[in-house]
RNA sequence: UGGCCUAUGGUGUAAUUGGCAACACAGCUGGUUUUGGUCCAGUCGUUCUAGGUUCGAGUCCUAGUAGGCCAACCA
């Protein structure tokens, strides 16, 4: 649609430029390369939308490749969760790959490097190596093992592979330049010994390749044309290219690494390591807790894939540091949910209203529109009777003209029902209002077309019939952190900024049409916000998560006064 | 005693590659409305600094300033 007129981000410009310089469109190929050591978060969503979006734009294949070179941290559970999340976002990968599929090829190439004198076996401890590595401003010094004979290197490497060495004893290092200003070029480690079972290769290997050695070569094996990663890998590019040089064949596509800035969301953390801490320390109830900025958390919270994709599209891709206000994410949730979420009524802080001139024991079912934004959504029936609940905040004994709600002597429209007038109210010993007595205008029934029904009354309230009300658990969420950027304070741990009130559980009273709501159903509780049925729901007890509130100008007016 | 990257409204991203700085969010005004929602109209506000090249600079050059990243047998 408007795709053609949309401006390009800098990555798309690079692709376009490659195309104009003669790179064949058919050779375009991308990949999304998660490490299966945690759940995907909103930052990954940006990367997913970028890579798969490129695939869609150029009709090019996109692989899902798990970067599974560290069996100490990686698990099948995460592989499954990642696949589910990518699919849920609406993308289809060309093929499912694993870096571990390439272990043999990587090993063979490593042998080749040793034979060319480009790699050697290191016998020192990691402490000794770290010391010789220097610092960003002090050059490193050569390892005493740097000039081992090729024969000895070959022999030791094979022994490493055969499990003859303990973890931490030997590593294979690329022989590059200990004096390089780029620390990554100071003879980086290619292989380490790890006597661990891998989630796919089990105990086939006791040596595992490092990221830098694996990633570029995997891109090369898959003939990925553009390998996109985040900015912290910018320094790795020189090494990426160096490793590629060792195996590159002119007739093949040479992958090109380019880096973009990771997206930071306000009032949360977007880092697998930090999210893992929240899970492990019990701050949240798991990776998919609705307070989490994970894809699974957002899904459970009630976000739609469309809203996340639109969000990613709006924030774009660039290279500068950023802190995206969470209100932009919330905007996209509302924007989509407004179109698709059926309207229902629910009262979360009930105050009983008795309609004194309504017949005792009487009851009627009223017609209610399901979604004013979508005619095809149809309508439903709502029970109405003498006793109803309204929201406690919708009544005041006395109020000024700006209060478009119910006050003593005032009139208000009950959504889809009648106009009522507050006559009196009852209180308990402490002065709390316990009940309101109202009268209703029989002829004002919504949709009846009578003169009375067309009267303009300032204010329409949502309500629920007491007799038919469904009790449900409602989980209300607030931002997980009180600080907009909790993990950027040099002297403070991000955990210090946790919002202790990020979850509030209350009881709500809902209209009976919700009785058979299914898990992940999304609705709008009119005048309140969007809510989603939580997986904790059982046939006898519904649990709703508040996704996001409606825009609330009334609260704003009150705050400004 | 270094290297790499970045700098455009409050936030995020654009600018036909050197040609009138725009889009979205947020904010503020008003209108419509049986959701104080939606929708509609309007409004606020931007090129880090100093030089230079040019008829013309957000874009190119130089210097500065600020921020981020780099010393895991993590990715």
Q: What pLDDT, in 10s, does the model give residues A359-415? A: 999 999 999 999 999 999 999 999 999 999 999 999 999 999 899 999 999 999 999
Q: Is the pLDDT of residue A308 over 70?
A: yes
- CA distances A377 to A370, A372, A512, Å, are 6, 8, 18
Domain boundaries, chain A: 122-211, 263-341+469-561, 346-462
Marked catalytic residue, from A192, A272, A407, A527:
A272
The nucleotide minimizing the C1' distance to residue A8's CA is B14
* Span CA (A274) to C1' (B64), Å: 37
* Span CA (A553) to C1' (B36), Å: 6
Average pLDDT, chain A: 96
Active site residue A272: yes
* Span CA (A550) to C1' (B24), Å: 19
The nucleotide minimizing the C1' distance to residue A230's CA is B69
Paired tokens of A324: 């995206």
The nucleotide minimizing the C1' distance to residue A455's CA is B34
Q: How many Å apart are CA A531 and CA A476, to the nearest integer?
A: 9
Question: Looking at the C1' of nucleotide B35, which residue has the nearest alpha carbon?
Answer: A527
Marked catalytic residue, from A35, A75, A423, A484:
A35
**pLDDT, position A490:** 85
The percent of residues above 90 in pLDDT, for chain A, comes to: 96
Q: Is the pLDDT of residue A448 over 60?
A: yes
Are A322 and A263 in contact, with CB atoms under 8 Å apart?
yes
Question: Looking at the C1' of nucleotide B36, which residue has the nearest alpha carbon?
Answer: A554
Active site residue A92: no
Instruction: Name the nearest CA neighbour of A98 among A161, A195, A40, A33.
Output: A33
* Span CA (A554) to C1' (B41), Å: 21
State the burial class of residue A518 (Cβ atoms within 10 Å of its Cβ: 0-12, 13-18, 19+).
exposed
| Alpha carbon of residue A495 to chain centroid | 20
The nucleotide minimizing the C1' distance to residue A415's CA is B34
Q: What pLDDT, in 10s, does the model give residues A240-289? A: 999 999 999 999 999 999 999 999 999 999 999 999 999 999 999 999 99
What fold, for A263-341+469-561?
A: 1.10.1160
Which positions of chain B lie under 7 Å from any protein Cβ?
1-8, 10-15, 17, 24-28, 34-39, 67-75
* Span CA (A331) to C1' (B70), Å: 37
Instruction: Name the nearest CA neighbour of A68 among A189, A184, A195, A201.
Output: A201
Q: Is the pLDDT of residue A20 over 70?
A: yes
**pLDDT, position A2:** 37
Q: What pLDDT, in 10s, does the model give residues A128-185? A: 999 999 999 999 999 999 999 999 999 999 999 999 999 999 999 999 999 999 999 9
Are A118 and A174 in contact, with CB atoms under 8 Å apart?
yes
Question: Which DSSP letter does residue A440 get?
Answer: E
The mean-pLDDT minimum among A100-114, A446-460, A520-534 falls in A446-460
CATH of region A122-211:
3.90.800.10
What fold, for A346-462?
A: Ribosomal Protein L25; Chain P (2.40.240)
Marked catalytic residue, from A262, A277, A352, A421:
A262
The nucleotide minimizing the C1' distance to residue A140's CA is B71
Are A301 and A545 in contact, with CB atoms under 8 Å apart?
yes
Paired tokens of A244: 């590629």
Q: Is the pLDDT of residue A446 over 70?
A: yes
Q: Is the pLDDT of residue A5 over 60?
A: no
In the beta sheet, which residues pair with residue A324?
A: A265
């Amino acid at each position: 649609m408007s795709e053609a007129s949309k401006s390009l981000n800098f990555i798309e410009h690079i692709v376009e430029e490659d195309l104009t310089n003669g790179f064949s469109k058919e050779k375009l190929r991308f990949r999304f390369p998660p490490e299966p050591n945690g759940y995907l978060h909103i930052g990954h969503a940006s990367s997913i939308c970028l890579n798969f979006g490129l695939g869609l734009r150029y009709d090019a294949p996109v692989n899902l490749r798990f970067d599974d070179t560290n069996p100490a941290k990686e698990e099948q559970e995460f592989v499954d969760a990642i696949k589910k999340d990518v699919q849920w976002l609406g993308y289809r990968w060309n093929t499912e790959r694993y870096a571990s599929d390439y272990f043999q090829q990587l090993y063979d190439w490593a042998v080749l490097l040793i034979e060319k004198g480009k790699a050697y076996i290191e016998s020192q401890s990691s402490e000794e190596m770290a010391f010789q590595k220097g610092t960003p401003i002090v050059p490193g010094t050569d390892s005493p093992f740097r000039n081992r004979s090729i024969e000895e290197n070959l022999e030791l490497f094979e022994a490493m592979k055969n499990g003859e060495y303990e973890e931490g004893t030997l590593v294979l290092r690329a022989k590059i330049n200990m004096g390089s200003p780029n620390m990554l070029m100071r003879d980086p480690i290619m292989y380490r010994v790890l006597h661990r079972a891998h989630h796919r290769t089990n105990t086939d290997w006791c040596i595992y390749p490092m990221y830098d050695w694996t990633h570029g070569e995997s891109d090369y094996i898959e003939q990925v044309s553009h390998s996109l990663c985040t900015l912290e890998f910018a320094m790795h590019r020189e090494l990426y290219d160096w490793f590629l040089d060792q195996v590159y064949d002119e007739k093949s596509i040479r992958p090109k690494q380019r880096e973009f800035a990771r997206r930071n969301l306000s009032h949360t953390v977007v880092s697998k390591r930090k999210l893992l801490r929240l899970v492990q320390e019990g701050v949240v109830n798991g990776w998919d807790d609705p307070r989490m900025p994970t894809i699974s958390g957002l899904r459970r919270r009630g976000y739609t894939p469309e809203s996340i994709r639109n969000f990613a599209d709006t924030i774009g891709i660039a290279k500068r540091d950023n802190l995206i206000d969470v209100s932009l994410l919330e905007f996209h949730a509302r924007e989509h949910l407004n179109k698709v979420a059926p309207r229902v009524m629910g009262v979360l802080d009930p105050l009983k209203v008795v309609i004194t001139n309504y017949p005792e024991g009487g009851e009627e079912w009223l017609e209610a529109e399901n979604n004013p934004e979508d005619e095809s959504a149809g309508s439903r029936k709502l029970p109405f009777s003498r006793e109803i609940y309204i929201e406690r905040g919708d009544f005041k004994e006395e109020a000024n003209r700006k209060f478009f709600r119910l006050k003593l002597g005032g009139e208000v429209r009950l959504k889809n029902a009648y106009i009522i007038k507050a006559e009196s109210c009852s209180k308990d010993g402490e002065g709390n209002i316990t009940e309101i007595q109202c009268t209703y205008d029989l002829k004002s029934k919504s949709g009846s077309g009578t003169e009375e029904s067309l009267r303009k009354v300032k204010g329409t309230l949502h309500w629920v019939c007491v007799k038919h009300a469904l009790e449900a658990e409602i989980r209300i969420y607030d931002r997980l952190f009180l600080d907009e950027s909790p993990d950027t304070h040099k002297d403070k741990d991000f955990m210090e900024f946790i919002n202790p009130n990020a979850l509030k559980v209350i009881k709500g009273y809902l209209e009976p049409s919700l009785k058979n709501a299914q898990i992940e159903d999304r609705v709008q509780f009119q005048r309140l916000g969007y809510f989603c049925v939580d997986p904790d729901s059982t046939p006898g007890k519904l649990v709703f998560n508040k996704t996001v509130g409606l825009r609330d100008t009334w609260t704003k007016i009150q705050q400004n006064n």
